[in-house]
Amino acid sequence: MKAEIISVGTELLLGDIVDTDAVFLAQMLSRLGISLHFRSTVGDNPERLKETLRLAFSRADLVLTIGGLGPTLDDLTKEAVAEVLEVEFTEDASHRGWLEERMQGRENIPDSFWKQALVPKAGRGLPNPTGTALGALFEVAGKTAICLPGPPNELIPMSEQSVEPYLREKTTGSPAIIQSKTLRIAGMGESEIEARVKDLMVSGNPTVAPYAKTGEVHLRITARADTRDAAYSLIEPVESALRERLGDVVYGVDGETLESTVVGLLKLLGQTVAFAESCTGGLLAKRITDVPDASQVFGLGLVTYSNEAKTEFLGVPTELIRQVGAVSPEVAKAMAVGILDASKANIGISVTGIAGPGGGSAAKPVGTVHIGLAWEGNVISEHHHLLGGRTDIAVRASQNALALLRRFLMNPDDAQFR
């Protein structure tokens, strides 16, 4: 079964509302093994909505609409679906009576209010446990349309209580599970990843798809099978092959974050870390302290944004800054040693760079970042040239700093750290 989701509402096109409903429905369809090929968003315009519906029915067996079921004149989704599918309405007497009871004592109720009780003759209404508008299920000539309300507090209960059981029954006998597992990668670019695993990305089941994120890449492995266990059995050998080719740049799976992985390693090894930050402005400390129990491994972070702060709080020599500049491997190393001494932690991490949009030069363009790592009388630095705007550079710098720390924790005897 092929499905399409159509979200209706000008407020969605304007960006006033984030479409979390479509995400919820997409996840539900995935659980049921229903292929979602397209998602569309259309404003509150009847003609454009009907045009979108005709296109959707031409390429999908199942169309789910979100929004436009309310009592106002611009709530026309159900009517548009009925016109496209050439279906007439009938009134649900029980729901009409419930609405009348609810509105008892109120005056000047518009006629449009009562359309919330209309249901398709070729189909049925869907109960709304938390709202006034019935949902609608259309079944015409092998096509199914399900019209759902826009507010999540109405759409989610209706979907869970009525839509999912209906679709589960409809899909009985076909592969009912689409299961995914996402490998999270830091320290290797999308192009290099693709070059290493390209042949694994062309299979039909499971599929492997890359997603570039800020500072990292995700590889999503998706399998279709009759059961969840069978899907994972398909995923497992592909995951093993990916890990073998990519090595330790794969830091986690699914919802794991780089910071949670680092905190877990620090706790496991009984180590502590401290941060001296400049261009990241405290982002490293924020990311670490967002992880529960981070206090076991992190006690001090300093944002030494000015040269004077680097000297006063980290002991970076003024003459060193004058000679090589604050954005340099030498200063990054001095900052890392300084925060290590000030904190008494096992590991000191520093970040200094040019986040822009100004401050760059031919020798040190915007995006130049140096990361320092100090431990037990040793210190190294890494140089990066990062792309993007000011916020992107800060996020990427923090990502590279955490990736460096993770590599060190996993393999301190690596040649990089000698």
Tell me the DSSP string of 319-342. Answer: HHHHHH-SSSHHHHHHHHHHHHHH
Beginning with the edge strand found earlier in the chain, give each strand of the sheet holding 123-126 in spatial order. 35-42, 2-8, 62-66, 143-148, 135-140, 123-126
Contacts of 22 (CB under 8 A, 6+ apart): 5, 7, 39, 66
Distance CA 9, CA 314 (A): 54
Distance CA 380, CA 332 (A): 9
What are the phi and psi torsion angles at 233 (to 5°)? -65, -35
pLDDT value for 241? 96
Comparing CA positions, the residue from 408, 336, 412, 411 lying closest to residue 372 is 336
Q: How many CB atoms lie within 10 A of CB 355?
A: 25
Alpha carbon dihedral 404, 407, 411, 414, in 10-degree steps, equals -60
Per DSSP, the residues of 51-91 read HHHHHHHHH-SEEEEES--SSSTT--HHHHHHHHHT--EEE
Angle between helices 190-197 and 228-246 (to 10 degrees): 110
Contacts of 294 (CB under 8 A, 6+ apart): 263, 288
pLDDT value for 40? 96
**Ordered structural domains, the chain, with CATH:** 2-170 (3.40.980.10), 177-253 (3.30.70.2860), 258-417 (3.90.950.20)
Instruction: Take residue 306 and report the two structure tokens written for it.
Output: 């000015």
Alpha carbon dihedral 128, 5, 208, 229, in 10-degree steps, equals 30
**Weakly modelled stretches of the chain, pLDDT under 50:** none
182, 251 in Cβ contact below 8 A?
no
Contacts of 319 (CB under 8 A, 6+ apart): none
Per DSSP, the residues of 169-214 read HHTTTS--EEEEEEEEE-SS-HHHHHHHHGGGGS-SSSEEEEEEET
Angle between helices 46-59 and 77-85 (to 10 degrees): 50
How confident is the prediction for the chain on average, in pLDDT? 93
